[in-house]
Every structure is written in structure tokens, then in C-alpha cells.
């Protein structure tokens, strides 16, 4: 069966990580499953998909996207998305769980309570005992997507673990307004079972499972 409606899509999935040294990393529990399944769904519907997936994604399902690339740090994912903006992209689904923080300076306490900064350690020895580590915010990639892809439809994600469902939906609406995106998918412990889909002007929808969500997202693409 030939598909008349075909769009060029980019889907991000899975976690980023941020190195402490050359041995240890900070990451999160994202598996990459939802983004991978969305990419597979879009391919099955006749779209061309580039899947950007975290190296540490543990989901082992098939990756059917026509092009699959892996990323590691937030900076690496940012650079890949920026480079891909040179190609035509009709839709961006930014489902990756980007680390909110990276490691900053690292200190060890000395005698007298003073702090000494540890620099350029390939592996920080546990013999040093207690360490004090700065956490610095990572760049918010979603704030830059509209500048890179001015004509694309951009769908963001919000995974909320604290507050109430109304708070999660409000955060999604705020993301749309601040980042000039088109839609935001909401899920996580605060939202509860299923997925919320927030659009401009506060419009919302609820979908019990991923396939229903994917159907709604493709319907949005077709709406023009």
C-alpha cells in the first residue's frame, strides 16, 4: 500500500548522561522505550524517521527508523539536533529524558574544614572519603528547537514526579508558551496512568495507552 502522506520526523529517546570522571556518570531511569515505539509507529504509517537514542537506553526492542543515531551527553544531543536542522524536518518529537544537571566543581574537605578542588582526575579515588560536588543545570535543548526548526511542528514532553496532575498540565502549558512548541505530552507519577496531551490555548486530551497517544500525534501532523 502506498502512503501519500509522508513527513520527515525526528524522534529523541532515552537518557543522556553526564560524566563525573572518566569512569563514573550521572544519568536517569529513562529506558528509551516510548520514543523507540513512537519512531516505529511513524515508520509503519509511512513517514521517514531519524531516531536519536541515548547510548544508555536499556529498551531492547527493534528500532525501525530509517536512520538511527546514538547520543551520550546533553551537549552531544544538542549538537546532533542542531546539525540535523540543515535537513528538512517536518516534525520534532523531543521525548528524550535530558539530564537536568551536570557535575560542576568537585571538592574534598581538608583538615580545618577547608575545601580543596579536585581537577582533571581520570578516576577519583574512593580513598579520598567524603566529597562535595556542585550540580550545574544543563542547557534546556527544547528552548532552542524553534530557532533551529522554525517551520517544523515541535512536540515536547513533561515527566513530572511531584505535585498534582493540574500542576503537571500547567507546566506543560508553560513549556509551550516559553519554548514556542506546538504540543506537550505529559506523563509520570504525578499525571498517573496514561498520557496527557496539551496544546495551545490550554486544550488537553487524555489517552489511556501509547498507541492511542501515537494516533493523536499523527492526526495532529495530518491537520496541517
Q: Is 51 helix (H, G, I), strand (E, B) or coil?
A: strand
For residue 4, pLDDT over 90 is answered with no
Which residues of 72-223 form beta strands (DSSP E)?
91-94, 101-109, 115-118, 132-137, 153-159, 183-187, 195-199, 204-207
For the segment 70-109, what is each residue's pLDDT rounded down to a tens digit? 999 999 999 999 999 999 999 999 999 999 999 999 999 8
Residue ranges per structural domain of the chain: 8-100+140-222, 103-134
Q: How far apart are the first and last CA of the chain?
A: 23
pLDDT average, residue stretch 143-149: 98
pLDDT given at position 223: 87
DSSP state of 139: P
CA angle 140, 75, 108 (to 5 degrees): 95
Q: Taking a C-beta distance cutoff of 8 angstroms, is the pair 67, 50 a contact?
A: yes
- What is the tens place of the pLDDT at every residue in 54-75? 999 999 999 999 999 999 999 9
Q: Report the pLDDT value the prediction gives residue 24, as an integer from 0 to 100.
A: 93
pLDDT for 1 equals 46
Whole-number pLDDT of residue 202: 65
Q: Which long-range contacts (CB under 8 A, 24 or more apart) does 1-7 make?
A: 3/45, 3/46, 5/46, 5/222, 6/46, 6/47, 6/48, 7/47, 7/48, 7/90, 7/91, 7/221
Element (H, E) at 2: none
- What is the CA angle 140-144-145, rounded to 5? 115
Predicted confidence (pLDDT) at residue 132 exceeds the cutoff of 60 = yes
pLDDT tier at 46, thresholds 50, 70, 90:
very high
Considering the domain delimited by 8-100+140-222, tell me its CATH architecture.
3-Layer(aba) Sandwich (3.40)
What percent of the chain stands above pLDDT 70? 97
CA distance 43 to 48: 6
On whether the pTM is more than 0.85, the answer is: yes
What burial class does residue 103 get, using C-beta atoms within 10 Å of its C-beta: 0-12 exposed, 13-18 middle, 19+ buried? middle
Amino acid at each position: 500500500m502506498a502512503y501519500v502522506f509522508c513527513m520527515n520526523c525526528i524522534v529523541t529517546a532515552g537518557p543522556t548522561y553526564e560524566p563525573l570522571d572518566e569512569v563514573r556518570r550521572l544519568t536517569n531511569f529513562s529506558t528509551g522505550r516510548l520514543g523507540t515505539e513512537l519512531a516505529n509507529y511513524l515508520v509503519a504509517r509511512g513517514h521517514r524517521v531519524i531516531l536519536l537514542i541515548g547510548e544508555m537506553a536499556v529498551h531492547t526492542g527493534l528500532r525501525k527508523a530509517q536512520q538511527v543515531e546514538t547520543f551520550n551527553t546533553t551537549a552531544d544531543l544538542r549538537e546532533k539536533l542542531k546539525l540535523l536542522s540543515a535537513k528538512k524536518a517536518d516534525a520534532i518529537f523531543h521525548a528524550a529524558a535530558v539530564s537536568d544537571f551536570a557535575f560542576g566543581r568537585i571538592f574534598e574537605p581538608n583538615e580545618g574544614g577547608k575545601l580543596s578542588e579536585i581537577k582533571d582526575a581520570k578516576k577519583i579515588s574512593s580513598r579520598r572519603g567524603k566529597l562535595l560536588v556542585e550540580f550545574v543545570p544543563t542547557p534546556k535543548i527544547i528552548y532552542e528547537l524553534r530557532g533551529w526548526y522554525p517551520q517544523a511542528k515541535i512536540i515536547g514532553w513533561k515527566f513530572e514526579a511531584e505535585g498534582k496532575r493540574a500542576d503537571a498540565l500547567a507546566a506543560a502549558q508553560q513549556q509551550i508558551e516559553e519554548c514556542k512548541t506546538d504540543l506537550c505530552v505529559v506523563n509520570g507519577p504525578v499525571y498517573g496512568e496514561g498520557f496527557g496531551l496539551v496544546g495551545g490555548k490550554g486544550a488537553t486530551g487524555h489517552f489511556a495507552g501509547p498507541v492511542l497517544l501515537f494516533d493523536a500525534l499523527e492526526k495532529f501532523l495530518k491537520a496541517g
